[in-house]
Amino acid sequence: MKVCYIIGYPIGHSMSPTMHNAAFRELGLDYKYEAAPIEPERLAGFLDGVLRRPDARGASVTIPHKIAVIEQLDVVNREAADIGAVNTIVNDEGTLKGYNTDGLGALKALKESAGDLSDKRTVLLGAGGAARAVAYRLVQEAGGLIILNRTARRAVELAEYLRGKAGSRRIEVSAAPLDEAHLARAVGGSDILINATPVGMHPNVEGTPVPRHILHSRLLVFDLVYNPLRTRLMREAEAAGAGTLSGVEMLVYQGAEAFRLWTGREAPVGLMLRVVREALGG
Catalytic residues: 66
Residue 38: name the closest of 59, 65, 60, 18 by CA: 65
Q: What angle do CA 236, 115, 79 make, to 5 degrees?
A: 95
User: What CA–CA distance (Å, rounded) separates 28 from 139?
Assistant: 39
Residue 253: name the closest of 224, 214, 210, 281 by CA: 224
End-to-end CA distance of the chain: 32
**Sign, CA torsion 150/156/157/162:** positive
Q: Are 279 and 18 in contact (CB under 8 A)?
A: yes
